[in-house]
Structures are given as C-alpha cells and as structure tokens.
Chain A
Amino acid sequence: MSATTSNTAFFNQLKKYYSFYTGGFIAFVIILAILEQMGLSNQVIGYIFLAATIALYAGIGIMSKTADVSEYYVAGRRVPALFNGMATGADWMSAASFIGMAGTLYLSGYDGLAFVMGWTGGYVLVALFLAPYLRKFGQFTIPDFLGARYGGHLPRTIGVLAAIICSFVYVVAQIYGVGLITSRFTGLEFGIGVYAGLAGILVCSFLGGMRAVTWTQVAQYIILIVAYMIPVVWLSVSITGNPIPQIAYGQALQGVTAVEKELNDPTTVKGAAEQTVRAIHKAKAAEWGEKLKALDEAVAAGQGQAFWAEQKAKAEAKLAEAKAAVPLDEKAVKAAQKAVDDFPKNIDKLKAKWKAAEAGAKAKSGNVPAHAAAFAGKGATDEEKQKDSNTKRLNFIALVLCLMVGTASLPHILMRYYTTPSVREARQSVFWSLFFIFLLYFTAPALAVLAKYVVYTDLVGSSFASLPAWVANWQAVDDTLMKIVDMNKDGLIQLAEITLGGDLIVLATPEIAGLPYVVSGLVAAGGLAAALSTADGLLLTIANALSHDVYYKMIDPNASTVRRLTISKMLLLVVAVVAAYVASLKPGDILFLVGAAFSLAASAFFPALVMGVFWKRANYLGAVIGMIAGLGVCMYYMYTTYDFFGGVAANEWFGIKPISAGIFGLPAGFLGVIIGSLISPAPAKEIQELVDHCRYPSLEGDIDTKAA
C-alpha cells in the first residue's frame, strides 16, 4: 500500500517538475525572440540554443547519477507509464524521423507513407506480443530473456551479436545527424560538431545510465514535439486559416492536385513552359547516358583506372581555368573547387555519381507524379506499367512489414518496457509511447503537403528576379537542399527547374511560414534532441549487452556491483568514441544501413522472442536455428542484392529491394524455431514454468525472475 502511495507521489512530483520545465523552456524561447528583435545575430542564437540544451541535458544527467545496478540498467523500475511513453517517443524518433520524414513524403508522396505506417504500426506488435511479457520477466536486457528462456550461452550470444550490429549502425547515423545539425546552425566544422554532440550524449548516459537517459529523454521529447508543431501550425494557419494542420491539409492537397494537372497539360501556359524545361532534362539525361557508356567501355577494356584519372584531370583543369579567368568569377571558382574536392574516390563511385545524375535528369524529363497516387507504374506499354506498379506494391508491403516487425524487435525500444513499475503500466506505457510518436508522425504528411502547396502555387510561375528570401538563403547555404536554375532562360520558375533536398522541408518551414529566426533555432534544437535521445538509448543498449550479457553473465558472474558498473561505463565510453569516429568519416551509405537494421532486427529477434512466450514447446535448438536462419537469410539477401556489398539487382527475388530483406529472414526465422524445436526434446519443466510466469501478471506460488 505504501509503495502505491509513494508511486503516486513520485508521479505527481514528476508532473510538477516537467510542467515547470516546459514553462521555463517556453519563457527561454520568448526571451530569445525578444533579444532577436533587439538585434541578436542568428549565429549567436544558434550557439545559445546548442549550449543551453546540451547544458540542460548534462544537468539532468548529473542530477540523476547513480551507483545502483537496478537504477543504472532499468531506472529502478519506477518510471510511470506516461513518462516512459515520452521517453520511448524520444528514444524512438531519430534525426531521420524529425528532419527527414516530411521531406521523404514531399518527394515520394504516397510511396513514402510506408515509413509512417511502418514506424507506428510496429507498436501494435510491441503491445500485443512483447511488452507485458518482457516486463513480467523483468531483467535487464533482451539477450537476458533469450538466455533464461532457452538456456545455454549460445542464444544469448547470438542475441548480443544481433543487438550490437543493429544498434551500432543506427547510433552512427544518429551521431552523424548530430554533427550535421550542429555544423549547420553554428558554423562549427562537421567533425567538431560530432564531438560536441558526443559530449552531450556521454555526460548523460555515462553518469546515470538508464535512469539519467530516461529523465533526459522526457525533457528531449518535450523540446522536439514543441519544435515540430509550432512551425507546422503556423504554416497551416497562414495557408488555410485552420490551426489544425492534420485536417486543414486536405484543402491544400486539392490545390496541389490541381497544379499537378495544369503542369502536365501542355495546352496551358505553365504546362507548355514545363515542357521546354523537360526537353532540356531529356537531352541532359541522354548526355549522361553517353558518358556512362564511355565509362563502361573503358572498364570493359580494363582502362577503368585511366578513365577515372582522365576525368579527375578534367575537373582539375576546369578549376585552373576558372582561377585564371579575367575577370575572376568567385562563384565559378568555388564550384570548380568543390567539384575537385568532392571528386569520387574511384571508378565505381564515379559511375554511381553519374548514374544518379542520369536518373535525376530522367525523372525531371517526365510528368509530375501525383502526390496521393499509389504505386504509379513506369514503362513503355500498359503491361509494363502494370508490372512495375505491382512490384512497387509488393515492395511497399514488404517494407511496411519489415519496419513494423523491426520496430518490435529493436532492443533499445524493448528495453524501455523493463523500466515501468508493473505489467499493468507496461501495457499502458505502450499506448502512451505510440500516442506521443503518433503526434509527430501524423503531422509529417500534413507538413509535406503544405510545403508542396507553397512550392507549387507561390514559387512555380514566379519570377527569378524576385525569389522569396528563404529560397535565396537556402540556395546560398547548401545547394543540395535548394537549387533553382533558369534552364530555359524565360525568367520564370518552372517546377522542373527546382532541385530540392528532402531535409529542406522541416529546416526551412519556419522561414516559409515567415517566423523569426528563433524558431529556426528551436527546430535545430528539436532535431538535436531527437538525435541525442536516440543515440543515448542505443549506446546504452550496446554497452549493456557487452557489460551485462557478455562480461557479467558469461565471463565473471561473481563480479561485484562496483566492478560491473565500472566496466559498463568504460565500454560505453569506448563504443561512443568508436561510433563518433565512424560518423566523422561521413559514411555515405548510412541511410541504407539504418533501414537494414530493421530487417536484421526483425529476422534475428522477433521469431525467437514471440515463440518464447507463445509456444511452450520452443526450445534451445529451435532458438539457435531460428535466429541463425533468420539472420543468415537476411544478410545473404542483402549481400547478393545491394551494390554496397557488390550485389546486383538481378539477384532480387520477386523484385524485393534489399532494405526489405527481412521479408525472407522472418519466415526463415519462424521455420527455424519450429523445426529446431520439434526435432529435439521439449524444454524442461522449469522453463515451462518460466513461460507461465511471463504470461500471468501474478500467480500464486510464482517463481521470481527479477534481477537484483
């Protein structure tokens, strides 16, 4: 009874703290807004936001420092459902969700919705199949469950391995995001930005483990959701007069659809102008095609290296020419310098770059695709179109399934449900988690359409002489995000003349909506919060897998508490530094790898975890075969189909893209568990009792699996 009252008191106390904190944060933003009006420069605002938020997270980290094992690993198991929901939300939503999601939807319309559905629907699986049972089991890590349920070291070891693979690529992407945001908003160099962000991550997780990470994540969730909502609501009001963007954007979508029709109709003035630009793109695509042919011929003749050197020399000659030109054109020199600096490092990368250029030109030489249309097929004949459309549909379904099951298998998310006080609260907590995630995800499609509406109606057809300020600004900052060139020299902007990077949508919304710079700073702080919170959770998962599962459970089960925590913290430091180092190399394929993490997690964990609870007959051999088969099939498929590993698209089964490899790994995993279990004896009575223990929140004469 007294524990319940103390839980309630704790909850009320938390509510008070975080209300106070939210108020304080809003006051802080308002003060900055006033200072901006008084002439504070944009760069200083960027620095203040960066410094203030990182100091805040560090402060929470220091206040939550702990030397208690249970506090360090699972925040003392007393995080109320609502707050665990917020923490999971921040843990879940990465820099890619915060900055990239709306952009993906802008660029790919309906086809981008696979991410929206996949990254939310997975929580249904978490709720129905995992969270309550894992909470009842109640230890520290996901490999813990595999170890206890299936016995022996092997299932645990495979679990550790899979957890590290998935989490590591993911954490590299987060730290990369941190570097990008800090460098963009403060002008610091990318590498320095990475290590500045790293400091913010470490202070928090290093001192207080899960406990510090949890309370910081709650704070980060509040910042990121406020930062996401303010510009979208404002944009919605200024376009439609309705402050609820999720409803209002239907109107904007109709506007967008009308413009799409006009631009695709050559009998209209705008449509005819688009045609002239498309013809230019078509010619360019053909040009790239010729260049690619020459490259392929050179490679076939064994002259690839020479061809590459020749192209590089050409870029260098262009730079020398630009430098020698009279009068000196600074812009041309800068562009030529960049071309030399960024010149692909080998013939394969050169080919990839040219291929991308060709594809880009080709895409712009065709009609504008309709935003809401599903699976638009391409091809010369109706039959080809139908076939392409069906493949797209299949890929969409496969991706949604992989993202969903992957969500329900990622250890850093599942681990969060160990931290609630009870099974009851674990169930409620999944609801709160999805609710808080849902707030952002069901806003992103609205933002994408509203931004598209602005581009299609305000920007297209306006004059190059009077570009809106936000366009000019972003073009100057980064031309991969925004680039407009008057290709047909008519002085007016056509849609096909605009090159827009997905990340621009969220970053530029405050300016598009005409909000002061302080809101841009807020958005940056939100993006940073999203990246830092996810990185925190992932680092902890990796370090815990190594220190708890490998060191404590396998190497030295008699280690003292102090020693366990020291090892855990040392490993955290090592993993963080390695991840930051990898991120500072700017690995280009990081986005693919993040997508791959979902397929890998789904194939490796989901069958063994779910069957562990729902099928008493599942045993050691089943788990081992299932996990190896799932992981193996998934990795094999990626290896043979993804060009990063030297695979080719011709190896694809049913045209399924490598990112959705889990669609094959998942059934392999389930089959492995079933077959492996049936060919070996049923698990011991104690194991079956453990399953019952997980299934019922409370049983008389129940065993106790709680870890101390």
Chain B
Amino acid sequence: MQLTEKHREYWRRNLRLTAVLLSIWFVVTFVVIWFAKELNEIVIAGFPLAFYMGAQGALIIYVVIIWFYAKRMNALDKEYGVHEGED
C-alpha cells in the first residue's frame, strides 16, 4: 500500500476543511461566551444575542457544520478516487 501524491493532497484538503469548520465551531461557542455580556446588549426580536446563540443559534450552526462536512468529504472521496465501492 503506497500513498501517492494525490492521496496526500486528499488528506491535506481534509485537514484544511477540518480546521476551517473547527474554527467556526470555536467562534460560535467560545468567543460568543467570552463576550456574552456585551453581546446581550443587542436585542433582536426579543432575544438578547448571546442568550439566543447559546439557546439556538450555535446549535443550528453545529448542525450545518456537520451537514457540510459530510457533504464535502463524500464529494472529496469521489474526486480523489478513495470512495468506497458499491458494497
């Protein structure tokens, strides 16, 4: 089993995608918590912003992150020919 350059590129792109999505996860979770008091001054439709992010906003973003990762990686598998056979 010898890895080709193409294989290495697949892995690098996977790492890059993982890093980007993880940064989004980090920002909507920890940066928002850190500035919660300040963000709560902004009120939209009755919701203070930090409260809304903790109760719903962050959760929606988590779901989207995972959905996007699955979609992107499954496409990447095909592009680099490392997708599973039809079994």
A interface residue numbers (CB < 8 A to B): 1, 3-4, 110, 113, 116-117, 120-121, 123-124, 127-129, 132, 246, 250-251, 253-254, 372-375, 389, 393, 396-397, 400-401, 404, 422-424, 427-428, 430-431, 434-435, 438, 441-442, 445-446, 689, 692-693, 695-703
**A695 and B11 in contact (CB under 8 A), knowing A116-B59, A427-B70?**
yes
Query: Hey, which chain B residues are within 8 Å of A423, CB to CB?
Result: 77, 84
> Which residues of chain A come closer than 8 Å to B65, judged between CB atoms?
124, 127
Whether A124 touches B62, Cβ cut-off 8 Å, given contacts A374-B36, A393-B34, A698-B83, is: yes
* Structural contact, A110 and B50, CB atoms closer than 8 A: yes
Could you tell me if B54 and A128 are in contact, using CB atoms closer than 8 angstroms? no
Question: With A121-B29, A128-B21, A434-B62 known to touch, is A372 a contact of B70 (CB < 8 Å)?
Answer: no
Distance between Cα atoms of A389 and B36 in the complex (Å): 11
Which residue in chain B gives the minimum CB-CB distance to A422? B84
In the bound complex, residues from chain A placing their C-beta under 8 Å from that of B46 are 250-251, 253-254
**Which residues B40-74 have CB closer than 8 A to chain A?**
40, 45-48, 50-51, 54-56, 58-60, 62-63, 65-67, 69-70, 73-74
B21 and A375 contacting across the interface, CB-CB below 8 Å = no
A128 x B29 contact (CB < 8 A):
no
Interchain CB contact under 8 A, B74 and A427: yes
Q: Which 8 A-B pairs have the closest CB atoms?
A: A250-B46, A113-B54, A445-B55, A374-B36, A427-B70, A372-B51, A127-B66, A254-B46
**Hey, which chain B residues are within 8 Å of A431, CB to CB?**
63, 66-67, 70
**What's the nearest-Cβ distance from chain A to residue B29, in Å?**
6
Which chain A residue shows the least CB distance to B32?
A117
Determine whether the beta carbon of B36 is less than 8 Å from that of A438: no
Select B73's contact among A121, A427, A445, A702, beta carbons within 8 Å.
A427
Which of A389, A397, A446 has a CB less than 8 Å from the CB of B30? A397
* A120 in contact with B62 (CB, 8 Å): yes
List, sorted by A's number, 7 A–B pairs whose CB atoms are closer than 8 Å. A116-B59, A128-B18, A250-B45, A374-B37, A422-B84, A692-B3, A699-B1
A121→B25 contact, CB < 8 A: yes
Most B Cβ at <10 Å: residue of A246, A404, A689, A700: A700
User: Taking the complex as formed, is B79 at the interface, i.e. its CB lies under 8 A from any CB of chain A?
Assistant: no
Instruction: Check A442–B55 contact: CB distance below 8 A.
Output: yes
> Are B36 and A393 in touch, CB under 8 angstroms?
yes
- Are A253's CB and B29's CB within 8 A? no
Chain B residues with CB under 8 Å of A375's CB are 36-37
Residue numbers in B under 8 Å from A697 (CB-CB): 77, 82-84
The proximity string for B residues 1-29 relative to A, scoring 1 for CB distances below 8 Å and 0 otherwise, is: 11100010011001000100110010001
CA distance A698 to B36 in the complex (A): 44
A435-B62 Cα distance, complex, nearest whole Å? 9
Min C-beta distance of A693 to chain B, whole Å: 8
**Which single member of B10, B11, B62 contacts A121 (CB below 8 Å)?**
B62
Nearest B residue (CB) for A253: B46
With contacts A123-B62, A375-B36, A424-B77 known, is A3 near B25, CB below 8 A?
no
Determine if B86 and A117 form an interchain contact, defined as CB atoms under 8 angstroms apart. Answer: no
Q: A434 with B66: in contact, given A251-B46, A375-B36, A427-B73 (CB under 8 Å)?
A: yes
In the complex, the answer to whether B82 meets A127 with C-beta atoms within 8 Å is no
Please, which residues of chain A bring their CB within 8 A of the CB of B29? 117, 121, 400, 404
In the complex, which residues of chain B have a beta carbon less than 8 angstroms from the beta carbon of A703?
A: 1
Could you tell me the distance between the alpha carbons of A427 and B18 in the complex, rounded to whole angstroms? 13
Query: Which A residues lie within 8 Å of B34 (CB)?
Result: 393, 397
Q: Are A430 and B70 in contact (CB under 8 A)?
A: yes
B22 & A128 in contact (Cβ 8 Å cutoff): yes
B10 vs chain A, min Cβ distance (A): 7
Q: How far is the CA of A446 from the CA of B46 in the complex (A)?
A: 13
